[in-house]
Homo-oligomer: A and B are copies of this chain.
Amino acid sequence: MPEPDTIQSALDAAVQRARRNREGAPAAYIPELANVPLERTSAAVHLTSGDYLAAGDAADHRFTFQSAAKLLPLIGLLEERGPVEVFGFVGSEPSGDSFGSVARLETHGPKPANPLINSGAISLCGQLPGTVERRVAWIARWAEKLYGAPVPIDEQVRESERGSADRNRSIAYFLKHGGIISGDVEETLSVYFALCSLSGTVRESAHLTAILAHGGIVPGTGRRVLSKQTVAIVVAIMATCGMYNESGNYLVSTGMPAKSGVSGIIVAVVPGVAGVAVSSPRVNDKGGSVRGHMILRDLSRNLGWRFAVASSGA
């Protein structure tokens, strides 16, 4: 494993190089998302040794986690109810379609293809019991455990999501029609919007992936918060489904199981080595962070952080 100094240098260089790229623009389908400082770019690496390294605007660049937060209900439900129950509501296959597809639900049966597309995360939010408040409290508890710090819900963004969510409503009513969720659809969507509106920095984001990289133990503490089984399942699903219908290309180009959010965040796992998080609001037409991709590719290339070869000693 490279020394922290080497990693810090690689991180700084990668952020510096990425800043020069002016492609992409903030996602505009939710008004609030477009309303961010355009050039913010931040990156963090949380080593399994416990060291935390950051670069760019890491300290004061706050953003909502959006789809990167879809890891949370998957992890929480795997821990509390186990894989048999979870995979009754959602599959674990890459869908080959875009994240917001309704068509797939109709052509391949009512169960969402995997938990990291919209329909899958809505399905899981629909399995949480109780009122909206109780379900949001469940999310808050898991957020604190996984992110290692408070990650408040940005209520302005949540409200903005609610007003721009007819496609997600279409998905949710189809899930209800298919018997995958039950109860009030707007309530389940309200929980889902709260999830997407969790907000923080790359520090909290990298904390979550560092736990995954460290097999379920919080680096530097020896404290196990997730079972090995949950970690194994989540990282496998990130590998095949984390980047929607670009997951394959992405795994080839970076070798790191990852999950993106349309706010420009990407979180990634280097098993045994580190949790990574990068963020920049300039996203491409598929909603992936342009600079984030660059930084991850640079780290992969320069530090040899590819799951296939990282541990081979070759």
Contact = CB atoms under 8 A, between A and B. Distances in A.
A214 B314 contact: yes
A309 B271 contact: yes
Contacts of A308: 212, 215, 231-232, 234-236, 257, 269, 271
B271 A310 contact: yes
A interface bracket (residues with beta carbon within 8 Å of B): 35 or more
Contacts of A107: 103
B252 A248 contact: no
Contacts of A113: 96
Copies of this polypeptide in the complex: 4
Contact of A231 (B83, B173, B214, B309): B309
A159 to B, nearest CB: 18
Nearest to A94: B94
Contact of A252 (B92, B95, B102, B309): B92
Nearest to A307: B307
A170 interface: yes
Contacts of A185: 166, 169
B232 A306 contact: yes
A246 B93 contact: yes
A266 B252 CA distance: 21
A167 interface: yes
A173 B172 CA distance: 10
Contacts of A251: 236, 239-240
